[in-house]
Amino acid sequence: MRLRALAHARAGDKGDISNIAVFAYRMEDYPLLERVLTAELVKDYFAGIVRGEVRRYALPQLGGLNFVMERALGGGVTRSLALDAHGKCLGLLLLDLDLPVR
């Protein structure tokens, strides 16, 4: 099951840090997201893109998870040679993640 089936994302960037917040469409799906969408899974998913630490912050009252990814934008949006390396693109890419749901 793709993450986009259960949630939407908002993302941004500052310097070389990308921030992605994932919110469940329905509060009853939040416990599943909290269980399977770990910082380790997100770091593995962005292997080769995110070169630093990935931290996850749970926002249970909002049904959301916030991921802060360091060294994620090739030195920063204004320094990177990558085309459109903004955090918003990473948010959309994360929604394509195939969740390890059994």
- 38 lies in which domain range? 3-94
pTM: 0.86
Residue 99 lies in a domain: no
Q: What contacts 100, CB < 8 A, 6 or more positions away?
A: 36, 41
Can you give the pLDDT of all 102 residues of the chain as single tens digits?
999 999 999 998 888 899 999 999 999 999 999 999 999 999 999 998 899 999 999 999 999 999 999 988 877 665 555 545 566 678 888 999 999 876
Q: What's the burial of 33, exposed, middle or buried (CB within 10 Å: 0-12/13-18/19+)?
A: buried
What's the one-letter identity of residue 65? L
The count of domains in the chain is: 1
Decide: 6 and 102 in contact? Cβ < 8 Å: no
Q: What tokens were used for 3?
A: 């993450």
**What's 49's domain CATH number?**
3.30.70
